[in-house]
Amino acid sequence: MASEHVIEEKKQGQALVTNNIKGNTKKLFIESYGCQMNMNDSEIVAAILETQGYNTTNKLEEADLVLVNTCSIREKAEQTIRKRLQKYNRVKIDENPKMKIGVLGCMAERLKTKFLDEEKMVDLVVGPDAYKDLPNLLKEVEEGRDAINVILSKEETYGDISPVRLNSNGVSAFVTITRGCDNMCTFCVVPFTRGRERSRDPKSIIDEAKDLWNKGFKEITLLGQNADSYLWYGGGLKKEFKKASEIAQQTAIDFAKLLEMVATALPKMRIRFATSNPYDMHEDVLHAIANHDNICKYIHLPVQSGSTRILKKMNRQHTREEYIELIDKIRTIIPDCAISHDIITGFCTETEEDHQQTLSLMDYVKYDFGFMFAYSERPGTLAAKKMPDDVPLEVKKRRLTEIINKQMAHSKFRLEQFIGKTVEVLIDGVSKKNKEEWKGRNSQNAVVVFPKTGSEKLGDLVHVKINRATAATLIGEKI
């Protein structure tokens, strides 16, 4: 399998289209790469630009403004984006010289003025915390100047902006709850591109969720680089919590409380969340999941490596044994919970023995899904500064293949456990292979396909008896 992933990344790099506000005459072409947070940020950007007279378009040639929301997580992600920028520039020169081009997101934050000075490929560079400055920056650009804002913020959560839902199926939506990351894993560029952790006011989260429900949405995913680290004490950085007043500290709302609040306020909305760092995931979150039928029984719990020695080098703050303890707790408190992982192969100094530890951890957990990557050194990270990238590429790739093969076997094993059972499926679209079939997901996030009967519609929760499983899909019939 050539791909780095077992699971596809959603809607990578597609033009994001939806809004059509009457009276808006300017056209925005916006593409998003990377994580779900980036997708949601593009929806926030579209909302900000809607007030500036822009509607979205999927025709690159006709755009007045082209924005690419970028990812820096691995070198390959950055290369893909550079190619896209070259393509935009060709279209600009050949077909639409008035077009303005801007870079948003993590790569904007990482490379800053380099885009303007060296590459001369863009007019506008905006980091993840500066989107509210877009109207001012666009004025600069319209007056013929390059514009840049890559200032990271202590407070910005965009809690007051109602995102324009782009490429939406009208059923599932993202709701961002925290921004930034304080964990400082040594391989990861995110703390540098997205800044320090801060949480969003729970009231604005619940208001947004209610608004989505009223608009017909049936599922929300609460998003954070580190969702379990959510902590609201009136605003401000997580790391300044200890400086807050006693009352603020006592009345603070953590992730378990937030989950309970959202699940109770919207008892029929399906609730998912991502991503969980094992270090920050506590037992009360597991009880919240177990206690509410509407919180999906699925946890994305990246482990990165099964070797305690490597975990230490990665600054992951937990050992292999502690991770296994957490897995055991999940299995006890939520017996039907699906679990997925992220794993990196070939991190600095990784030996065959370390790799075997990762494989044996996978055997222990038998994950339902997984996202797997070969280590890619990122400039500026502690690993890049202090640890030689000493595992040869062929070795990284061979280990990656072994891990992917194992995950495929485990995914198959997990899917097969549903055969003969009846599961609850939220219909989120029509099957790509057959228009006469619906597609949806069960609580455990497995994709389920079944024939239409004529009595159900998009957004319905239906019961489906599972008859068989392919490599990544359950196939059944509505009962």
Tell me if 367 contacts ligand 5AD by CB under 6 A. Answer: no
Which phi and psi angles does 117 have, rounded to 5°? -75, -50
Tell me if 378 contacts ligand 5AD by CB under 6 A. Answer: yes
- Look at residues 346, 344, 335, 333 and name the one whose alpha carbon lies nearest to residue 370: 344
Tell me if 47 contacts ligand 5AD by CB under 6 A. Answer: no
Q: State in angstroms the smallest separation of the CB of 415 from ligand SF4.
A: 27
Tell me if 74 contacts ligand 5AD by CB under 6 A. Answer: yes
Question: Pairing mode, if any, of strands 461-469 and 473-478?
Answer: antiparallel
Could you write out the DSSP letters of every residue in 269-338? SEEEEE---TTT--HHHHHHHHH-TTB-SEEE---B-S-HHHHHHTT-SS-HHHHHHHHHHHHHHSTT-E
Binding range to ligand 5AD, per CB under 6 A, among 328-336, 370-378, 428-436, 443-451: 370-378
Contact with ligand SF4 (CB under 6 A): which of 34, 127, 159, 191? 34
Nearer CB in complex with ligand 5AD: 78/219: 78
- Look at residues 392, 205, 368 and name the one whose alpha carbon lies nearest to residue 296: 368
Out of ligand 5AD, ligand SF4, none, what residue 342 binds, judged by CB under 5 to 8 A for its kind, is ligand 5AD
Contact call for residues 474 and 367 (beta carbons, < 8 A): no
- Look at residues 35, 83, 37, 30 and name the one whose alpha carbon lies nearest to residue 373: 35
Tell me if 376 contacts ligand 5AD by CB under 6 A. Answer: yes
Nearer CB in complex with ligand 5AD: 207/342: 342
Q: State in angstroms the smallest separation of the CB of 73 from ligand SF4.
A: 4
Give the list of residues 6+ apart from residue 272 with CB closer than 8 angstroms, or none: 219, 220, 221, 222, 295, 296, 298, 445
Total site size for ligand 5AD, rule CB under 6 A:
12
Nearer CB in complex with ligand 5AD: 54/187: 187
Tell me if 189 contacts ligand SF4 by CB under 6 A. Answer: yes
Total site size for ligand SF4, rule CB under 6 A:
14
Q: State in angstroms the smallest separation of the CB of 33 from ligand SF4.
A: 7
Q: Could you give the CA distance from residue 391 to residue 211 in angstroms, rounded to a whole number?
A: 49
**Centroid of chain to Cα 450:** 27
Q: State in angstroms the smallest separation of the CB of 342 from ligand SF4.
A: 10
Contact call for residues 181 and 191 (beta carbons, < 8 A): yes
Out of ligand SF4, ligand 5AD, none, what residue 172 binds, judged by CB under 5 to 8 A for its kind, is none
Q: State in angstroms the smallest separation of the CB of 89 from ligand 5AD.
A: 28
Per-residue binding letters, 99-138, with ligand SF4 (x by CB under 6 A)? ------xx--------------------------------
Q: State in angstroms the smallest separation of the CB of 320 from ligand 5AD.
A: 16
- Look at residues 115, 111, 61 and name the one whose alpha carbon lies nearest to residue 87: 61
Nearer CB in complex with ligand SF4: 42/407: 42
Which phi and psi angles does 351 have, rounded to 5°? -100, 175
The three-state secondary structure class of 228 is: helix
Tell me if 369 contacts ligand 5AD by CB under 6 A. Answer: no
Binding range to ligand SF4, per CB under 6 A, among 17-25, 60-68, 187-195, 369-377: 187-195
95-102: long-range pairs with CB below 8 Å, 24+: 95/61, 96/61, 96/62, 96/63, 98/64, 99/63, 99/64, 99/65, 99/66, 100/64, 100/65, 100/66, 100/124, 100/138, 100/141, 101/65, 101/66, 101/67, 102/65, 102/66, 102/67, 102/68, 102/126, 102/141
Q: State in angstroms the smallest separation of the CB of 376 from ligand 5AD.
A: 4
Q: Which of residues 256-315 bind ligand 5AD (CB under 6 A)?
A: 302, 304
Residues across the chain:
479
Out of ligand SF4, ligand 5AD, none, what residue 375 binds, judged by CB under 5 to 8 A for its kind, is ligand 5AD
Contact with ligand SF4 (CB under 6 A): which of 66, 73, 108, 403? 73
Q: Which residues bind ligand SF4 (CB under 6 A)?
A: 34-35, 37-38, 71-73, 105-106, 189-190, 193-194, 225
Q: Which residues bind ligand 5AD (CB under 6 A)?
A: 73-74, 187-188, 302, 304, 342, 344, 373, 375-376, 378
